[in-house]
Amino acid sequence: MKSRWALPALKQTHLATAAAATLAMVIHDAGATVRHVDNCNSDGAPGTLGYEIVHADAGDTIDLTDLTCGRISTLGFSVFKDVNLIGPGRDALILDGHLDYRVFTISAGVRFSASELTIANGVDRSDDAEGGCIASYGHVDLTNVVVTNCFASGQSSGRGGGIRAQSLTLVRSVVSGNLAYGRIALGGGVALFGGDLVMHDSIVSGNEARSAPGPVLDSFGGGVVVGSNYERAEISGSTISGNRAAIAAGMKFQSSMPYVSSLSMINSTVSGNIAEKLVGGVYSSMYTSIHASTIAFNTAGYASDTNGESVYAGLHVADAPVNVSATIISNNAAGGMPSDFSVSGKGLFLIVEWNIIQSSNVLTPPGNPVDPMLRPLAFNGGPTPTHAIAAGSAAIDAGPWGGTGTLFDQRGQGFYRRVGAEQDIGAYEYQGDSVFADGFDPGSSPMR
């Protein structure tokens, strides 16, 4: 399975500078002991990554920044203490399970952190498989990390093709091309249960949750599944695209306590996710707040469930409060028909303002439906792909008076959120000719 998106490539000098800055910050802030890995062997001898993980004390940092080998093959690392791994750059080092072993198994309550590396080709083939590359019952922090081509493949269930954790923080990271497979499949890219999701400037793309043959229980959350009654999901500056599942192909947020758990999404894009049955984009039964985002070009097989309840392809919120503002929800389709935004359940409060919503089962703002004139998903500057809006789009200067409280659009620094009379609707602020001011190259690059 190949990914369509990866973070734009940084020059090696930038990678080295970023890794050195991260290491210096860890040493300065935490006073941590630094253990150095000086070779890429997998025999467990001193100086190998396996040896340093086993002998690390809680809170130690493991420094891989001097490695030039490009790849460490592993039979699987077991982590029993809080550790922090720092690599030479995500394009410079791969921790590789060779489709034989899960890469990291992390004990309950442990905080595992990694930055500036790639974790790839991990697999769990147990009957109830989980976490093809990372399986944790604690917290996982990933910064400028790629997790790719990982598989949780079980006959009974598969959870978290790339990552299974209690809670997860992703910063400028990519989770791409992973698979959860089983009679019930949850979270092709990421599956979290009982904890928080924080995602900033990251990409979740090209993942799949797929049901095994036989009596099917179904597949949910091709990109992300979060199951939590008390915690939160916070997504900013991120893109979730090209994921697949039977239901909720992009992201599924499930809670039986919708006034306690919450989903907050701002300056983000959900695009091109494909559901065989229901909800191509986002399904949520949490308190849902979406601002200055774009949910577009997601598809589903059907626009209603077996009870005849409307369940639209772009965004569906069930039995939970919802607040959507300054957001484009358009060009989504179910069964070939427009299908953008729906809500279901009773006792909800609904706020829908300053949006472009082409089709909905609730009252939409005056002037809808209109065509926001979205361009194809592409790297238009910044670390994540976005849908630019064309000159003349109804989204331009049509956002809320005073804006949404953010200085920049999804692309980040250098792309101001308010350029004209008011901010634009959606994740992208029209600024005429693009200026790539953040040090990244425009355009997309395939996952390597």
Buried b (16+ CB within 10 A) or exposed e, 280-313: bbbbbbbbbbbbbbbbbbbbbbbbbbeeeebbbb
Whether the CB-CB separation of 85 and 114 falls below 8 Å is answered with yes
The pLDDT-based confidence of 32 (bands split at 50, 70, 90) is low
The pLDDT-based confidence of 343 (bands split at 50, 70, 90) is very high
What's the pLDDT tens digit per position in 169-221?
999 999 999 999 999 999 999 999 999 999 999 999 999 999 988 777 799 99
CA distance 327 to 76: 43
Q: Is 64 helix (H, G, I), strand (E, B) or coil?
A: coil
* 97 pLDDT higher than 80: yes
- The pLDDT assigned to 215 comes to 73
* 448 pLDDT higher than 90: no
Whether the CB-CB separation of 198 and 234 falls below 8 Å is answered with yes
CA distance 73 to 50: 10
Mean per-residue pLDDT over the chain, rounded: 89
* 434 pLDDT higher than 90: no
Whether the CB-CB separation of 110 and 140 falls below 8 Å is answered with no
Q: 3-state secondary structure string, 217-269?
A: CEEECCCEEEECCCCEEEEECCEEECCEEEECCCEEEECCCCCCCEEEEECCE
What's the pLDDT tens digit per position in 42-52?
989 999 999 99
Across the strands, what pairs with 372?
Answer: none
Phi-psi region of 306 (alpha: psi -120 to 50; beta: other; left: phi over 0): alpha
Mean pLDDT of 400-415: 88
What the block records as the tokens of 277 is 């049955």
The pLDDT-based confidence of 31 (bands split at 50, 70, 90) is low
* 436 pLDDT higher than 50: no
| Choice between 7 and 129, residue whose per-residue pLDDT is larger | 129
- Which residue's structure tokens are 């361009």? 375
- The pLDDT assigned to 214 comes to 77
Cis-peptide, bond into residue 369, ω within 30° of zero: yes
Mean pLDDT of 134-158: 97
Q: Is 439 helix (H, G, I), strand (E, B) or coil?
A: coil
CA distance 108 to 250: 28
- The pLDDT assigned to 433 comes to 52
- The pLDDT assigned to 366 comes to 67
Mean pLDDT of 286-301: 97
- The pLDDT assigned to 18 comes to 47
Mean pLDDT of 138-158: 97
- The pLDDT assigned to 258 comes to 87
* 135 pLDDT higher than 60: yes
CA distance 359 to 368: 8
* Residue 225 CB-density burial (10 A; 0-12 exposed, 13-18 middle, 19+ buried): buried
* 294 pLDDT higher than 90: yes
| Choice between 13 and 227, residue whose per-residue pLDDT is larger | 227
Q: Which of 11-20, 189-198, 341-350 has the lowest mean pLDDT?
A: 11-20
Mean pLDDT of 381-405: 91
- The pLDDT assigned to 309 comes to 85
Whether the CB-CB separation of 340 and 374 falls below 8 Å is answered with no
What is the DSSP code string of 174-194? Answer: EEES-EEEESEEE-SSEEEES
What's the pLDDT tens digit per position in 416-430?
999 988 999 999 999
Single out the residue of 424, 426, 430 nearest to residue 381, CA to CA: 430
What's the pLDDT tens digit per position in 62-83?
999 999 999 999 999 999 999 9
Whether the CB-CB separation of 198 and 170 falls below 8 Å is answered with yes
Whether the CB-CB separation of 106 and 141 falls below 8 Å is answered with no
* 345 pLDDT higher than 50: yes
- Dihedral, CA of residue 281, residue 139, residue 97 and residue 220, to nearest 10: -30
- The pLDDT assigned to 400 comes to 86
Percent of the chain residues topping a pLDDT of 70: 88
Percent of the chain residues topping a pLDDT of 90: 77
Whether the CB-CB separation of 201 and 412 falls below 8 Å is answered with yes
- The pLDDT assigned to 443 comes to 39
CA distance 332 to 263: 21
